Amino acid sequence: MSRIVGIDLGTTNSVVAVMEDGGPVVIPAREGSHTVPSIVAFSRRGERLVGSLAKRQAATNPEGTFFAIKRLIGRKRNDPHVDEASRHVPYRIAAAGNGDAHVQVGDRVFSPQEVAAAVLSHLKEIGEEYTGSKITDAVITVPAYFDDSQRQATRDAGRIAGLNVLRILNEPTAASLAYGTMREGTDERVIAVYDLGGGTFDISILRLSQGVYEVLATAGDTFLGGEDFDQRIIAWLAGEFLRETGVDALADRLALQRLKEAAEKAKCELSRQDVADIQLPFLATTPKGPAHLARTLTRAAFEDLVRDLVERTRGPCEEALGAAGLTHEQIEDVLLVGGQTRTPLVQETVREIFRREPNRQVNPDEVVALGAAIQAGVLRGDVKEIVLLDVTPLSLGVEVRGGAFVKMIDRGATVPCRRTRVFTTTADNQSKVEIHVLQGERELATANKSLARFDLVGIPPAPKGTPQIEVAFDIDSNGIVSVSARDLASGLEQQVVVTPTTGLTPHEIERAIGEAESYAEEDRRRIHASRTKAKLQGLLATSEKSFAEFASLLRPDQQTDIRGVFDECRRALSGDDVDTLHAALDRLNGISRTLAELAMYDPNAF
């Protein structure tokens, strides 16, 4: 059976892991780090860059560099959160024909799923290089508070990347899996997983006992994370710069990108030290000349900027405790997950909420991917005696007459689960009914998230209130919802097609898969060219050094030929054509052998 990878698709960074020798291990990226920036860029030449390469060129290509795309996935363009995000990123967020949020560079438009798929495809390639085999299956994690549209969109992203997504796993649940395998003993333990990442916040309460991981309650905020902390620093820097120079740096996309990079760097520094120096020379041009920005941000000042963001995590924590029917004293351990939990103010707040010191034994950046790899091991049969009992984060139901929302599955229900309920018609001889599926907690249907609409047709003519229409809701182990309906009067189940109110159509997915494959081929070509370049550069440097030492032993015409080959190599290195690089490398190999033979016969050589 082929290897199955576990992927933490993060807002800021992503991680891929796999089971190795009975335990989960994080697969290092090509640059050596364990995390891959969740950034995708399209250069002015049309090339696609992913990860560190995309991050390094962001300052010079802000409009074509997409980050924090996880915040847009599965959302409409008119979502207030998307509107807020559009004010803080240098790239353009547009609306597709169905109203979904898309990103745009030039005249090209991409769905968030396609951008996320580029990151997943990059992680897939890293996994294949590490394992030496083709990767086709994956477990991908999502925030526990992701709704059905966001989960479906994440699965679509995996499919576009060429992955068969075997399981969509909640991030806190994944973290608890990794925690459970690391701790000693199998005694029952109730833990809280406080997950504050780059774009989302989750809190989950779990009971761990004899290999059973039972989620008791979950709560959170899908638009609260490290990106918001960065924005506070950006706003402060831009305000200082405006006051000092009269220039609005936020109106300049290049300046905004530089502010973002400086803010992220300062935030990370303030997790380790009390002061961060921010230096941004030539941030803008004024009538008086270049304008520079130099500021010192103290940890105390930073905490004042973000205190309300940290406080926003208290409510969901109390809500989750209440839903689990537990008190703070009954929580035996608090696991910190997500890079933003390194912030001292966050750790202090967690201590206050749960009245205990949080657990720092796990790496907050890697623990979710490790848990995903363990779940992959469970699915593959390598890991046994582990049972996951997760819950649905939000209630599910339908809209009824008068615009009311009737819940079919309450939040906190253990998944997978199935619920049925019988409805009827509101008019005489009604031949069809529209079933509007929603997710949320409000009693008014329009105040909840619309998931899908479909018509049940072919109902036999009858007075209103007579037909019996059974609606069934199913939630699978991925937390993904399916809805069906049948007319009990005729005894025949009606075939219905649920048309999601958000997401890609099958045609759009197939198109995206085709484009992703073409980009994958381009990526492989670029990687091959990069490696050939590295070989050529190394051999050229060695050969030029040897030539400088032994040129006097060669005839003038030989010296001219060798210099010509060197010039050919330098021209090849200035481009990315693989055939040209290989041709230059072949010629240089011949020259290298000639120079090596000279060294052997040089009377002064050792």
The helix/strand/coil state of 92 is strand
- How far is the CA of 484 from the CAs of 229, 399, 400, 438, 543, in angstroms? 43, 15, 16, 14, 71
8 carries an active-site annotation:
yes
**Cα→Cα distances 602→263, 588, 589, 596, 606, Å:** 59, 21, 20, 10, 9
Q: Is 171 a catalytic residue?
A: yes
Determine the distance from the C-alpha atom of residue 600 to the mean position of all C-alpha atoms in its chain, rounded to a whole number. Answer: 56
Q: Which of 447, 544, 436 is nearest to 498 (CA)?
A: 436
Q: Which of 125, 195, 228, 366 is catalytic?
A: 195
Q: Is 244 a catalytic residue?
A: no
In sequence order, the 6+-apart residues with CB closer than 8 A to the CB of 107 are: none
SS3 260: helix
Number of residues in the chain: 606
Q: How do beta strands 469-475 and 481-487 pair?
A: antiparallel
Instruction: Indicate which residue of 114, 125, 156, 171 is catalytic.
Output: 171
**CA-based angle 394:14:220, to the nearest 5?**
25
How many CB atoms are located within 10 Å of the residue 117 CB? Answer: 29
Provide the token pair at 316.
């969901």
Other C-beta atoms closer than 10 Å to the C-beta of 257 total 21
Out of 55, 63, 70, 214, pick the active-site residue.
70
Strands 212-221 and 387-391 turn out to be parallel
Return d(Cα 405, Cα 428) in angstroms, integer: 23
Closest by Cα among 164, 199, 189 to 478: 164
Distance (Å, whole) CA 103 – CA 348: 37
Annotated catalytic sites, by residue?
Answer: 8, 70, 171, 195
